[in-house]
């Protein structure tokens, strides 16, 4: 099968590449640039890679409020490597509220990872006071995978900081951590990863230095499971008053399960 390769240095070129009818799309970013309108990635069963070219890694920077990228293509996979997706939280107006996620994954495909954060890919510096937001939010049966060398870090949430897995009673979401890190995220509810009606599976990597109120590292809510076969959950903490929950891992509702077969916690 032919692979369509696109070299991009601005949002117009990126949008055009993502709209290609090709089934396999390789996008090579060759400069830093900002996203002004929100980017929607749609189309069924596409395989898309986004990486930096020579001189990288380059940064795609938030220039608009709302979800920066929305992934809605059923059965499609977007793989990020050697690229920074930055929420620009140190610059107004995103300093106070970006009102959305860096990536909103809304593409049901329980057997295919919809978003892969791979080696050298960093999703960072998002700030949103929205309740249904985080650095990455996964909904409607979406599937997120974090791999060696990838990171979701320094995201601040009015509710959730790093990752929000938000399944339903009929359609579960999923996240695999096969390396990489979810670190230094903060939330007024959950700092690292919030899991509700979803499954989190960890074999390596780390969830570390996250701060929340209901949970610092991982917060497992109703009808959700965290399976830990390896990796590290460490140096997470909670802040607040008498209602604070667990710093590392918190199980908060009926049907919340934590299964530890390996790994390390402190």
Cα within 13 Å of Cα(40), Cβ side: 8
Q: What is the pLDDT of residue 247?
A: 82
The pLDDT of residue 1 is 62
Strand order, beta sheet including 103-105: 39-41, 69-71, 103-105, 136-139, 163-166, 193-196, 218-220, 249-251
Position 18 scores a pLDDT of 94
What local confidence, expressed as pLDDT, does residue 102 receive?
96
- If you write DSSP's letter for every residue of the chain in order, what string do you get? ---EEEEESSHHHHHHHHT---SEEEEEE-S-EEE-SPEEE--TT-EEEEEE-TT--EEEEE-SSS-SEEE--TT-EEEEESEEEE--TTSTTTTT---S-SEEE----TTS-SEEE-TTEEEE--EE--TT--SEEEETT-EEEEETT-EEES-EESSBSSEEEE--SSS-EEEEEEEEEEES-EESSBSSEEEESEEEEEEEEEEES-EESSBSSEEE-TTEEEEESSSEEES-EE-SSTT---SSEEE-STTEEEEESS-EE-
Q: By three-state DSSP, how is residue 17 classified? A: helix
Residue 243 has pLDDT above 60, yes or no: no
pLDDT greater than 70 at residue 240: no
> What's the pLDDT at 113?
83
**What is the mean pLDDT of the segment spanning 44-67?**
95
pLDDT at 244 over 70: no
Please give the DSSP secondary-structure letter assigned to residue 134: -
- pLDDT tens for each residue of 199-236: 999 999 999 999 998 889 999 998 999 999 999 999 99
pLDDT interval class at 110 (50, 70, 90): low
**pLDDT tens across 141-168, in order?**
899 999 999 999 999 998 899 999 999 8
pLDDT one-digit tens code per residue, 57-68: 999 999 999 999
H or E stretch at 249: strand 249-251
Residue 11 DSSP class = H
pLDDT reported for residue 241: 54
Share of the chain above pLDDT 90, in %: 72
Domains of the chain: residue spans and CATH: 4-265 (2.160.20)
Q: Which of 221, 217, 223 is nearest to 202 (CA)?
A: 217
pTM for this model (two decimals): 0.96
* Lowest model confidence (mean pLDDT) among 18-32, 52-66, 123-137: 123-137
pLDDT at 204: 98
pLDDT in tens, 71-104: 987 788 999 999 999 999 998 888 888 889 999 9
pLDDT tier at 16, thresholds 50, 70, 90: very high
Are 136 and 163 a contacting pair, CB within 8 Å? yes
């Amino acid at each position: 099968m032919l692979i369509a390769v696109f070299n991009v240095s601005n949002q117009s070129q990126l949008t055009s590449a993502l709209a290609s009818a090709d089934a396999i799309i390789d996008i090579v970013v060759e400069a830093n640039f900002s996203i002004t309108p929100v980017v929607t990635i749609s189309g069924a069963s596409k395989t898309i890679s986004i990486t930096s070219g020579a001189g990288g890694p380059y940064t795609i920077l938030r220039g608009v409020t709302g979800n920066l990228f929305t992934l809605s293509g059923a059965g499609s996979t977007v793989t990020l490597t050697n690229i920074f997706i930055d929420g620009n939280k140190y610059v107004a107006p995103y300093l106070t509220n970006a009102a959305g996620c860096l990536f909103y994954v809304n593409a049901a495909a329980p057997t295919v990872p919809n978003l892969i954060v791979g080696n050298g890919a960093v999703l960072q510096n998002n700030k949103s006071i929205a309740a249904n937001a985080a650095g990455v939010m996964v909904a409607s049966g979406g599937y997120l995978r974090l791999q060696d060398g990838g990171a979701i870090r320094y995201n601040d949430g009015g509710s959730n900081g790093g990752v929000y897995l938000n399944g339903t009673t009929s359609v579960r979401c999923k996240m695999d951590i096969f390396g990489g890190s979810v670190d230094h995220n903060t939330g007024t509810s959950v700092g690292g990863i919030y899991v509700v009606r979803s499954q989190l599976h960890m074999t390596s990597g780390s969830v570390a230095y996250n701060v929340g109120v209901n949970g610092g590292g991982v917060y497992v809510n109703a009808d959700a499971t965290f399976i830990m076969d390896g990796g590290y959950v460490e140096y997470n903490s909670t802040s607040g008053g008498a209602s604070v929950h667990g710093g590392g891992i918190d199980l908060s509702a009926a049907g919340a399960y934590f299964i530890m077969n390996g790994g390390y916690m402190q």
